[in-house]
Chain A
Amino acid sequence: MDGQLIRAAAVAATLAIAPTGTMAHQLVVFASVDCQVVTVEAKFSNGRVAQAGDVRVLDGENTLLMTLELGEDGTAVVPLDSVDHSGGLVIEVDTGGHDNYWIVTPDDITRNCGS
């Protein structure tokens, strides 16, 4: 499954699970993976891009590996060679008022590297 498919799965799950009456204003975090980077995207469920916030990268033991700033376009890029991703990664985004997370498993990463 490539990065697009990861995002597509999340969108499909959202559509399938909450077709009506969904949260009107919630931070939505996606993380897509390729062999080099994890691309983090954050926006609110009303469609507005989250223009600022902290992106925390943690490992499977909840150890903080890296902190990044969310860009004005609502994205941040985590170079895979800068973190130990062997046990997967947890990506947390905190905009101050809202926060959410995305879990990247080792399988998510290996699938996208063709190994």
Chain B
Amino acid sequence: MKRFALGMAVAVLAATTGLAQDRPQIATVNYPLQYFAEQLAGDAADVLFPVPEDVDPSFWRPTISDISTIQGADLILLNGAGFATWIDRVSLPRSRVVNTSVAIEDQFIVTKSITHSHGDGGEHSHEGLAAYTWLDPTLASAQAEAVATAIAGKGLVPVEDVAERLIALQADLAALDARTAEALADVGDVAIIATHPRYQYLARRYDLNITSLEWEAGAMPSDAELAELADEAAQTGATVLIWEDTPPDAGFDAVTDLGLRNVVFSPLATANGDADFIASFDAYVTALSDALQAQPGN
């Protein structure tokens, strides 16, 4: 809230900015930022998240029309941490772009290198950042504060309204953090496998032991992938598999046959049906907690 208070001074200066649309538009790169912006702006702005439901927003390739729309927004909210590769492939108006994770960069998680080779370039590695910052609700709260400061700073919503909504939103996120910590207490030594490396911030926040595969979201795993899972489970003693997205029933059955319990925990880069960010997060945590605390064979 201290940074937000500082932002208020900027907001007062900027509040006279004229707006081209009837309602200002706020463009976002993922569902958490869409949710935060909607909560903070209320009915005063239209919040855009143009990525189709069935597309991973991390790797979305926008059309020219999409970019034209985003370029016209009054505020463009980026996640940072390398999320959304398209933002480095277009021209965005710097004065309207806000990176919502600047204040938490010192808490970013650097991901392991992937070594490969092709052409005559020899073997080399790619290193990156874990991007799903919002799976730690304390980091999500910091991003919400950055969104609030940006909305107020652009004069899109009266400062006092944004401040009041930010307090409520951060209270919701703090309560979510507390509930998650309680639900996942005492499971830190239980090994978990995830179908994709999405859960680094969740694992760090709640002391979870998660190793990751590289399965395609929501797809039926191949025989080779199931063999890899069996090996990983044998090595780690894992009894739970987190699916990034719901697979075919045969996928659940195959994993059950390997002696693991199935849990679907969407990383929430896109919305989970009609459930909002808090409700979805709560539901996934409950499912994970239940699976971790279930006795083998149950």
Which A residues contact B (CB, under 8 angstroms)? 1, 5-6, 8-10, 12-14, 16-26, 28-29, 60, 87-90, 95-97, 100-108
Asked whether A17 lies within 8 Å of B88 as measured between CB atoms, the reply is yes
Q: Separation in Å of the A77 CB from the closest CB of chain B? A: 18
**Is B128 among interface residues, defined by CB-CB distance under 8 A?**
yes
Docked-complex contact A21 and B127, CB < 8 angstroms = yes
Give CA–CA (A22, B127) in the complex, Å: 6
How far, in whole Å, are A102 and B90 apart by their CA atoms in the complex?
6
Q: A14-B88, A101-B89, A102-B89 are in contact. Are A107 and B99 (CB under 8 A)?
A: no
- Closest A residue to B82 using CB positions: A18
The stretch of B30-38, B57-65, B255-263 that contacts the partner chain: B57-65
Is the C-beta of B80 less than 8 angstroms from some C-beta in chain A? yes
B235 interface residue (CB < 8 Å to A): no
Report which of A97, A100, A107, A108 forms a contact with B89, defined as CB distance below 8 A: A100
Partner-contacting stretch, out of B10-18, B105-113, B157-165, B196-204: B105-113
The answer to whether A107 and B68 have CB atoms under 8 Å apart is: yes
Give complex CA distance A22, B111 in Å.
10
Tell me which of B46-54, B117-125, B270-278 binds A: B117-125
> Contact between A6 and B91 (Cβ–Cβ < 8 Å)?
yes
* A29: B residues at CB distance < 8 A: 89
Q: Are A97 and B118 in contact (CB under 8 A)?
A: yes
Name the residue on B nearest A3 (C-beta): B91
Contact status of A23 and B127, CB under 8 A, knowing A6-B91, A10-B91, A60-B63: yes
> Which A residue sits closest to B124, measured CB to CB?
A25
B71-96 Cβ-contact flags toward A at 8 Å (1 or 0): 11000001011100001111111100
* Docked-complex contact A97 and B121, CB < 8 angstroms: yes
Knowing A23-B126, A97-B119 touch, does A16 contact B80 (C-beta < 8 A)?
yes
A87 proximity list for chain B (CB < 8 A): 64
CB within 8 Å for A17 and B126 given contacts A60-B63, A101-B89, A105-B71: no
Contact status B94-A20, CB under 8 Å: no
Known: A103-B62, A105-B91. 5 other contacts (CB 8 A): A10-B88, A13-B78, A24-B124, A29-B89, A89-B64
Q: Kindly provide the distance from the CB of B66 to the nearest chain A CB, expressed in whole angstroms.
A: 9
Main secondary structure of the interface of A (DSSP, over half): mixed
Whether the pair B119, A108 counts as a contact (CB closer than 8 A) is no
CB distance from A47 to the nearest CB of B (A): 13
Residue picked from B61, B62, B82, most chain A C-beta under 10 Å: B82
B183 interfacial contact with A, CB 8 Å:
no
**Of the residues B81, B111, B126, contact of A25 by C-beta under 8 Å:** B126
Q: Which residues of B contact A106 (CB under 8 A)?
A: 64, 68
Assess the A17–B64 pair: CB atoms within 8 A.
no
Select from chain B the residue with minimum beta-carbon distance to A91.
B89
A9 to B247, CA, bound (A): 40
Q: How far is the CA of A90 from the CA of B90 in the complex (A)?
A: 10
Residue in B63, B71, B88, B102 whose beta carbon sits within 8 Å of that of A13 in the complex: B88
| Smallest beta-carbon distance A21→chain B, Å | 4
Output the least CB separation between A93 and chain B (Å).
11
Q: What is the CB-to-nearest-CB distance from B28 to chain A, in angstroms, rounded to a whole number? A: 14
Q: Is the CB of A96 within 8 A of B89?
A: no
Would you call B90 and A103 a contact (CB within 8 A)? yes
Write the chain A residue with the least CB distance to B119: A97
Contacts of A102 in B (CB 8 A): 89-90
Whole-angstrom CA separation of A23 from B85 in the bound complex: 11
Residue pair B102, A16 in contact (C-beta under 8 Å): yes
Residues of the B chain whose Cβ atoms lie less than 8 Å from the Cβ of A6: 91
